[in-house]
Structure 1
Amino acid sequence: MEERKYLATWNRYLPVIRLHLKKSLTEEQSFKLNITDFESAGGRGKSGYTFNLALENGKVSNNISGSAVARDLYEALKSDEAIKMLLQNKSVKISVGKSFVLSIKTSHISAYK
């Protein structure tokens, strides 16, 4: 397993992510990330930093094995108690696109499955 080179960067963003995660219960949230934070942690080159991270009840529900950036974000999220509480009984989609904007979309998980 490769070292978690983006974990420290994501940990610095946790207070902002926590705030946007709370707000995402009423409407989709997005904010711009500072690309130099990630480039200094480890160059991704042409592959970039784009990813989609889908969480159901705090657990990853899509394949993020190819994205160190997404894996490290998940590690940071699950280490934060307040965020773990926010993820309970929710379906959360977190994505970063080419314009380096992080988007958070949250919906409640239906009790009828």
Structure 2
Amino acid sequence: MEERKYLTTWKRYMPVIRLHLKKSLTEDQQFKLNITDFESAGDRGKSGYTFNINMENGKVTNNISGSAVARDLFEAIKGDDAVKAMLLDKNVKISVGKSFVLSIKTTHLSTYR
């Protein structure tokens, strides 16, 4: 397991992520990440920085073990109490595509499961 080279970068983004997560309750959110922040942390080369994290009630429901960038983002999320509180009773999908835009989609979990 490699060291958490993107964790510091994600922690710097947490205030922005927190704001967009709050706004994502009413509409999907997107914002552009600065690719040089991530390139200086570690070179992903051809594999790039794209990933999806699906969370339900603050727990990851898909496999992110292959992406250090995604794992470190989730680590930063777990360390932020305000964000953790926002994730309760919600389904959240966070993704980064090839254009280096972070997207957040949030839906409320149904109480009728």
Deviations 1:24-80 (A, max 9, x none): 000000000000000000000000000000000000000001000000000000100
**How many residues matched?**
113
TM-score by length of 2: 0.99
Q: What is the CA distance between 1:81 and its match in structure 2? A: 0.3
- What residue is the counterpart of 1:64 in the other structure? 64
Instruction: Map 1:29-108 to 2 at 5 A.
Output: 29-108=29-108
- Unaligned stretches of 5+ residues in structure 1: none
Structure 1 residue runs of 4 or more that deviate by more than 3 Å after TM superposition: none
Q: Which runs of 5+ in 2 are unaligned?
A: none
SS in 2 for 1:73: helix
2:10 corresponds in structure 1 to 10
Q: Indicate the percent of aligned positions where both proteins have the same amino acid.
A: 79
3-state SS in 1 of match to 2:65: coil
Note the C-alpha offset of 1:2: 1.2
Q: Match of 2:2, as an amino acid? A: E
Match of 1:27 in 2: 27
The CA RMSD measured in Å over matched residues stands at 0.3
